[in-house]
Structure 1
Amino acid sequence: MKKLNLTVLTAALILTGCASAPNYEQPRSTLADTYLNRAVSGVNSGQSLTGQQTNAHWWSQFNDPTLNELIRDAQNQNIPLKVASERIRSAQAFNQIVESFKVPTVGLGAGYTSYGISENDPLLGAAVSSNNPLGTAIIDSDQSAFHAGMTIAWELDLFGRIDSQAKAASIRAEQAEIMCQGLTTLITSDVLHNYLQFRGAQERKTIALELVKDQQQTLALVEKIHHSGYGSQLDVARAKAMLAATRAVIPQLETAENAHQQRLAILLGESPRHMQERLAVNSPLPSFNGLIPTGLPSDLLQRRPDLRIAEREMAAQNAELAAAVANQYPKFYLTGTPGVLAGDFDDLFDSDSATWLASVGVSWNLFDGGRTDAMIKLQESRFEASALTYQHAVNSAIGEVETLLNGYGNSQQYQSLLLEAEAETEEAVGKALSLYQAGLIDYLSVLDAQRQQHAMRDRVVAARLQTANMVVGLNKALGGDWEI
């Protein structure tokens, strides 16, 4: 596999007038054209999956209605998924808050004011007192007025600080949505894993119970032979040991069965009793019937939620860097307060009652002990760290798919060989029965052949379970939209 070459535009400060802001481009990655392990059985590789939904509801190829129902309910009822949906709403609301700073803030107000002027007022005291050159008060000391108007405030975003902050908030909202999609994949794969483990434990327990029954017959026969004087106590001890060992497996399988059932109840947000009722009917471990479309390594960049989140993190850090750079330049403000003012309410809306105040302001932080420059360096470091994190995530994703492709191929081969061995043990049981019926061997030989058959059946179930889990893991590693 070719080494990943990642090209990322680092922060470049390009003056536009007085402004300076970094540009961002999505990383361009040079990946291998195909997977190393693309030739394994059960996969369909070599064709890009970009823009396709080829693995949508892929779990339906297990042909298990109960499994399909559990996955549907989990995606509707899972509590962490509901929390993730609320986080999307929170991120979108925060984005709207930041976007609002790009437009003027307008407020309305109205009221009634009454006040009195003191004759000792250093400014207006002489106007309300008779102690002045005119010998009479110029204005009344008691004043009142009705007023109504607006307050308008607007920061002119000449250098793009607010726009960059809004862009970063918008990207965070995108990340929340992608994270919810990734959590959907995680929850769905967890349901699949626990259901398969549950059915596997059930089937293995059934085999173990059948084996216990056969070994009880074997023990009874050995004891009978021993009592007749033709057998030894060693044979009895061996039969009892085999029976006890088989019985010891059953509680472990029941523990596993219960643990996975409880886990499914948690995933679906249901009570353990309800889940027990849903899974009361024993069903065999389902097998996957279909091809897994692997696509090309480059498809992972758009299909895996973790890679999309990592790329969006780069974009968000770049936007926050742009805001930090713009913060070193002046901030300009426009404010205005148009309104009406009158002593009598009937005159409030006359044209002569109009009043207004307008102002233009500027704020520029000329010295802050290097805090602004340090914030820029901090954001530059965060951007570089996010770029390295993205590169590592891509490398890990490719490696994960390659590992699972190899494991899936080997798992199928292992299962196939065990199936051949199982067929041989079945043939051995048939031959043992024929020889016993012909009087050529004793019944202990038949029971031993049956014991080997049961043991091989257990190994086959374990192999099928391993293969099924490989299917789940490989589909998860390949990504895609799993939402129903």
Structure 2
Amino acid sequence: MNRKQIPLVAFALLVSSCAVGPEYSAPQDTVGSAFLNQDVTGVDAQGGLVSANWWLNFNDPVLNQLISDAQNQNIPLQVAAERIKSAEAYQKAVASFKVPTISLNAGATSYQISENDPLAGPLVTPGEFSGLTGGDALIDNQYDFTTVSANISWEVDVFNRIGYQAESAAIRAEQVAIARSALLTLISSDVINNYLQYRGADQRKDIANETIASQQETLKLVSSLVKSGYASELDLAQAKAALSATRSTLPQLEIAKSVHQQRLAILLDTSVAEIGQRLAKPQPAPEFSGLIPIGMSSEILKQRPDIQLAEREMAAINADVGAAIANKYPKFYLTGSPGLLAGDFSDLFSKDSAAWVASVGASWTIFDGGRSQALVEIEESRFQAAALNYENAVNTALNEVETLLFAFGRSQELETLVVQTRGHADTAVNKANSLYKAGLVDYISVLDAQRQQNLIRDSEVAAHLQTAQIITGLHKALGGNWKVK
């Protein structure tokens, strides 16, 4: 290496990783510490973050196993896991450009120069230069040699361009992992909701069958009364119409059960028959017990995947801005090829066989019509857009939680009112039947009481399902880790 090159190399090493891009700091949000609708039954405002396996509070072993299997078997989740591996490998590939690249070469070469070569031929032809060589060729026409060498190349990352690119790639790998966590939450909540809806449809079907059995008995009674002259044909027609109306709900409930069963099979990547076996034992939709810990509104910013993704997007683009700025500055390169060269293999490793080539260089685009600056401005604009998206994600998250908290409170009130109404409806049916048998009211009163009872029982199941779905949605809105432990 020439002595004049040494100061340039030393300079490159000393100023390596001299970052020229903007520093990044995560946004500091000034959100309130409490939710406006946190004072509702079933919520613990001081409970901290949502705990993993929160669905255990449904006290349903079948549901617990379905969620566990879905998290282990779901194909989109497996694809997301492979994407994490790919993103991590890409990050390693980008980071590898920060260190020298070294390759080894070895080989044996034999070549012969043709005497008919128009340029070199006279040099290897005996007698061509006899006056100088006494009749011998000026040079030999055949050569054999062996080499062992290494090629070393390194871009000295003076202005941290490669460093920024590696940082961006690392953040992108983090985003892929966060996205998988969000997908896991989405799939788990989908399993819960479909399971609840399946159990609800099954329960509503049982109610409909019980109502049908009751209406069939009533129809027999009305038929006998018509024959005896104590009831009219109108009473008989109305009894038949009520029975047909109730029967017409069964196909809809069967469709609902089938849809949710099919959806569960897809989520668990299994057969519909296998899901059917798991759900074969009838049981009502599970009841949720315990309190929902919501913590402070500021804690949501730390545990919601969409907010985490938005913040990491800002960090990644900030690194892209740094890379674009650094790309405007000179690039410095060091290369070297130390090796061994000998005509005889036995001499290859002697000290006299050493050979090397070393170089240092720089590249700097001093004029490109403003292209480099335009690329910087593009990245800066992307950063501003990412910052706005982050702000929107925060506002959306907080509003979503507030809405679900309000809905949770009202849904519980609805359940309480429906249960009270159910009690009144049961009393009304019993009294109507008694009065009808005593001949004090017509059958229209009985049919109306039974219709109201049927509607209220169905509404009771629907209200319970609504509350359970809001509970699932609220846990989803609060974020947190949904991984089965």
Normalised by the size of structure 1, how large is the TM-score?
Answer: 0.91
Q: Does 1:230 align with 2:235?
A: no
Q: How does 1:220-259 map to 2 (within 5 A)?
A: 220-259=220-259
Q: Does 1:99 align with 2:95?
A: yes
How far apart in 2 are the matches of 1:226 and 1:297?
A: 67
The 8 Å contact of residues 242 and 447 in structure 2, kept in 1 or not, is answered as no
How far apart in 2 are the matches of 1:459 and 1:58?
A: 27
3-state SS of paired residue (1:134)? helix
How far apart in 2 are the matches of 1:367 and 1:118?
A: 49
Partner of 1:134: 132
How far apart in 1 are the matches of 2:158 and 2:119?
A: 42
How far apart in 2 are the matches of 1:335 and 1:17?
A: 19
The 8 Å contact of residues 189 and 476 in structure 1, kept in 2 or not, is answered as yes
Partner of 2:473: 473
How far apart in 1 are the matches of 2:77 and 2:258?
A: 24
3-state SS of paired residue (1:20)? coil
Q: Does 1:60 align with 2:50?
A: no
CA deviation vs aligned residue, 1:237-268 (integer Å, no higher than 9, x gap): 22222111111111001100010000000000
Letter in 2 for 1:139: I
Partner of 1:293: 293
CA deviation vs aligned residue, 1:250-303 (integer Å, no higher than 9, x gap): 100110001000000000000111111111111111011110001111111111
Letter in 2 for 1:245: A
Change (3 A) 1:365 1:120: farther
Q: How does 1:213-224 map to 2 (within 5 A)?
A: 213-224=213-224
Q: Does 1:419 align with 2:438?
A: no
Change (3 A) 1:293 1:66: same
When the two structures are aligned, how many residues end up with a matched partner?
465
Tell me by how many angstroms 1:234 deviates: 2.3
Q: How does 1:249-328 map to 2 (within 5 A)?
A: 249-328=249-328
CA deviation vs aligned residue, 1:386-439 (integer Å, no higher than 9, x gap): 1111100110000100000000100000000111111222333454566678x4
Letter in 2 for 1:377: E
Tell me by how many angstroms 1:112 deviates: 1.1
How far apart in 2 are the matches of 1:423 and 1:397?
A: 39
3-state SS of paired residue (2:103)? strand
Change (3 A) 1:160 1:122: farther
* Residues 427-436 or 288-297, more deviating: 427-436
* Residues 274-283 or 421-430, more deviating: 421-430
How far apart in 1 are the matches of 2:349 and 2:119?
A: 30
Partner of 2:211: 211
Partner of 1:340: 340
* Residues 191-200 or 428-437, more deviating: 428-437
Tell me by how many angstroms 1:121 deviates: 6.6
Tell me by how many angstroms 1:212 deviates: 1.1
Change (3 A) 1:185 1:468: same
How far apart in 2 are the matches of 1:321 and 1:119?
A: 62
Tell me by how many angstroms 1:326 deviates: 0.6
CA deviation vs aligned residue, 1:347-390 (integer Å, no higher than 9, x gap): 11111111111111111222333321221111111111111111
Partner of 1:4: none
CA deviation vs aligned residue, 1:105-162 (integer Å, no higher than 9, x gap): 1111111112233567787666535544623434312112111111111100000000
Change (3 A) 1:419 1:17: closer
Q: How does 1:2-151 map to 2 (within 5 A)?
A: 20-46=20-46, 48-49=48-49, 54-118=50-114, 127-129=123-125, 130-132=127-129, 134-135=132-133, 136-151=136-151
Change (3 A) 1:126 1:363: farther
Tell me by how many angstroms 1:20 deviates: 2.5
How far apart in 2 are the matches of 1:60 and 1:112?
A: 71
Partner of 1:385: 385
How far apart in 1 are the matches of 2:359 and 2:95?
A: 24
3-state SS of paired residue (1:107)? strand
The 8 Å contact of residues 19 and 329 in structure 1, kept in 2 or not, is answered as no
The 8 Å contact of residues 164 and 319 in structure 1, kept in 2 or not, is answered as yes
Partner of 2:8: none
How far apart in 2 are the matches of 1:36 and 1:450?
A: 42
CA deviation vs aligned residue, 1:75-110 (integer Å, no higher than 9, x gap): 010010000000000000000100110111111111
Letter in 2 for 1:95: Q
Letter in 1 for 2:76: P
The 8 Å contact of residues 74 and 269 in structure 2, kept in 1 or not, is answered as yes
Identity among equivalent pairs (%): 55
How far apart in 2 are the matches of 1:122 and 1:114?
A: 21
Letter in 1 for 2:461: V
Letter in 2 for 1:134: L
The 8 Å contact of residues 303 and 480 in structure 1, kept in 2 or not, is answered as yes
Partner of 2:172: 172
3-state SS of paired residue (1:115)? strand
3-state SS of paired residue (2:39)? coil
The 8 Å contact of residues 218 and 447 in structure 1, kept in 2 or not, is answered as no
Instruction: Give the alignment's Cα RMSD to 1 decimal.
Output: 2.3
Change (3 A) 1:167 1:226: same
The 8 Å contact of residues 67 and 188 in structure 2, kept in 1 or not, is answered as yes
Tell me by how many angstroms 1:451 deviates: 4.6
Change (3 A) 1:426 1:17: closer
* Residues 123-132 or 454-463, more deviating: 123-132
Q: How does 1:404-415 map to 2 (within 5 A)?
A: 404-415=404-415
Q: Does 1:156 align with 2:141?
A: no
Change (3 A) 1:20 1:123: farther
Partner of 1:3: none
How far apart in 2 are the matches of 1:449 and 1:19?
A: 80
The 8 Å contact of residues 261 and 275 in structure 1, kept in 2 or not, is answered as yes
The 8 Å contact of residues 215 and 451 in structure 1, kept in 2 or not, is answered as no
Uncovered stretches (5+) of structure 2, i.e. residues with no partner = 1-14
How far apart in 2 are the matches of 1:202 and 1:482?
A: 27
Normalised by the size of structure 2, how large is the TM-score?
Answer: 0.91
3-state SS of paired residue (1:143)? strand
Letter in 2 for 1:196: L
CA deviation vs aligned residue, 1:155-188 (integer Å, no higher than 9, x gap): 0000000000000000011001111111110000
Change (3 A) 1:258 1:426: same
Tell me by how many angstroms 1:65 deviates: 0.5
Letter in 1 for 2:107: G
How far apart in 2 are the matches of 1:380 and 1:119?
A: 66
3-state SS of paired residue (2:132)? coil
Uncovered stretches (5+) of structure 1, i.e. residues with no partner = 1-14
Partner of 2:464: 464
Partner of 1:7: none
How far apart in 2 are the matches of 1:121 and 1:99?
A: 50
How far apart in 2 are the matches of 1:279 and 1:109?
A: 65
The 8 Å contact of residues 422 and 457 in structure 2, kept in 1 or not, is answered as yes
